[in-house]
Structure 1
Amino acid sequence: MAKRDYYEVLGVAKGASADEIKKAYRRKVKDLHPDRNKDNPKAEAQFKEVGEAYDVLKDGDKKAAYDRYGHAAFEGGMGGGRPGGGMGGGQGDFSSAFSDVFDDLFGDFMGQRGGGGGGGRRAARGADLRYNLRISLEDAFSGMQKSITVPASVQCGSCDGSGAEGGAEPTTCPTCSGMGKVRAQQGFFTVERTCPTCSGMGQIVKNPCKTCRGAGRVEKERTLSVNIPAGVETGTRIRLAGEGEAGMRGGPSGDLYIFIEVTDHELFERDGPNLFCRVPVSMSTAALGGNIEVPTIDGGRGRVQIPAGSQSGRQMRLRGKGMPPLRGGGVGDMIIELAVETPVNLTNRQKELLREFEGEAQNNNPESSNFFSSVKSFWDSMKG
């Protein structure tokens, strides 16, 4: 049976770029993989055919030969840039083609973890740590210097973080040659796994340090001084670079992230830069007006003028008495909200005075008058 045109197999035009050929190959192997086509007996053959086509078209020399001579370029000893004529029956180099795509997909990731192969791998970076710190609203207002104790891994002093006794340098892993990964042939494709000898490090320690047992780090509590800036709020994150967990075998340390939680205050409620304070006032003060003293977050006092006839829920503003800005902007304000208080535990004389006042009161309660006027209109409409 005559072989199909390789460009037709991959579904690309003859002038397709290397990137277009690679993308087409990825789509094909994904769609035709035998594990996804168990009911299609032709899938495996088509899968191999795609691999054969890609092995030729991804190689510049082979592609040029194929474009000029077609399939005859790899028959009768013409070769395709490799000894022995290249394809060897259609399957011999498929695993190599699949491996190339695997490298394209995962090579960067593996490089980030290991820094490349050949014994020059970068030691593993330590993990980042999180510390939850609770502070009061007063501390968030003024800022503070806080000492915290953090349990973490630190570099081993006995081996200077190398993991080897006496500070000797680790050696390249003989199993993976420093790559941190090994490849195994399974049928017509290659599987890549973490090296079992070095656990992906690319290096081994022949004589492990007795203190850290080859890890290059030990567990130890550290006391750190943290600067908490004024204006922080719940959710603010402070980063201390290099104060996280020490890296394995001399690798760089991670970072420490401090997450701030500002506790609730008994007097003030925060809304961004502004503070709210609910202040109770007597019925007589709300009716007649007057001055009251209110606390401020800095520990001071503020005087507020209560207009006569004030109702519950009325708000007044003290400019610049809120929270300081953390990232630009101006200082917030303090909002005073009045809560008119109904007197309790009245004496007989007080009750008598209130009844006398009630009898004399005319047009003194506009909100009540409007409400009951609306109620009367509602009932009249229902009767109609």
Structure 2
Amino acid sequence: MNKFIDRAKTAANLNETAKTLAKTFAARAVDHDDNDRFIYANYADLKSAGLISAGVPVELGGGGADVRALCDMLRIIAGACGSTGLALSMHTHQVAIPAWRWHHQEPSRPMVEPLLRRVVDEKIVLLSSGGSDWIGGSGTAEKVDGGYRITARKVFSSGAPAGDLLMTGAISAEHGKKTVLHFSVPLSAPEVTVLDTWRTMGMRGTGSHDITIDGLFVADDKIPLKRAAGEWHPAFQMIATIAFPLIYSVYLGIAESAREIAIDIAAKKPICSRTQSIAGRMDTALAAARMAQTFMIEAVERNEPSAETINDVMIGRRLVEENAIRTVELAMELAGGASFYRKTELERRFRDIQAARYHPLQKEVQAEYAGAMALRQPIDQIF
């Protein structure tokens, strides 16, 4: 019972902190969006408020928030500023994964604990190289004495201007077989450059620039994982199971905020049956997105990453994507012509929500994976 009470209290406190910050982030969001300006000030606030270390176990000095509480935090923040929510989700899942290992894989504690302690003590920001380092991997790792020489270009590295460590990988072709090596890269290394490439339709404040790695040496003992390129590995089953509910909480938050804006605008006009129908369809789509998000979180909470949890999470991811996008589309329709003006802030949410389409597993691959699972066919190379 005490554990339950502590968890509930942690979630409630994190929720209130996120709501307080969201007011500030909402006031800054227009400027970040209009000027392609990275959310530097928001990162400073996230650090001061303890949200950077919210997912680190209490025993290591962190906030001790579980995935469900972290999802709620990201949903609230994204409702105010989608860019801040998405960038924070990329750091948060890179914290939540080693935190899960610390809780559930005791032999892994010596490996993950130093990183988690640095997040607390130094307030370091972790970057994900996202689609660059999906199952197929990217970049090259040339074997040299004592380690590897890394050359790569990583795209969609959200939060890059504020990052300290890039959690990434590269492909080695030793022994005639492609092997993905996983390691961390300090952004301060002279071989690492953040390029100014992020000019986009939406999510303009995330700073998801390309990062180049030109000849960085990574020692053998700094490579915690090697896996076959181009196929699912148990480590990636864990990573994907935990990461995607957090990332898609952002899109749910954007959809919820679009709904609130549209309802406020519509309430100031005469109500007719057509208006009610649009509002009803909007709320139905939003309810579907919420249910799908809950389904994803429940898959994480089984604490058994597997091909089955990947299937559940990716089905949920697909349903959140489709219904969150539909919610915002209907919010635009409900608000009418007013939605076309930037000052209503609906059009920014319409642009930001489009990014939900582009994370793995995209719809055709997700459908193939789910179908293979249903028909009991191999899924190892469906990604």
Q: Using structure 2 for the length normalisation, give the TM-score.
A: 0.20
- Name the structure with the higher strand share: 1
More helix, by proportion:
2
TM-score, with structure 1 as normaliser: 0.20
**Structure of larger gyration radius:** 1
Larger relative contact order (Cα-Cα within 8 Å, sequence gap ≥ 6):
2
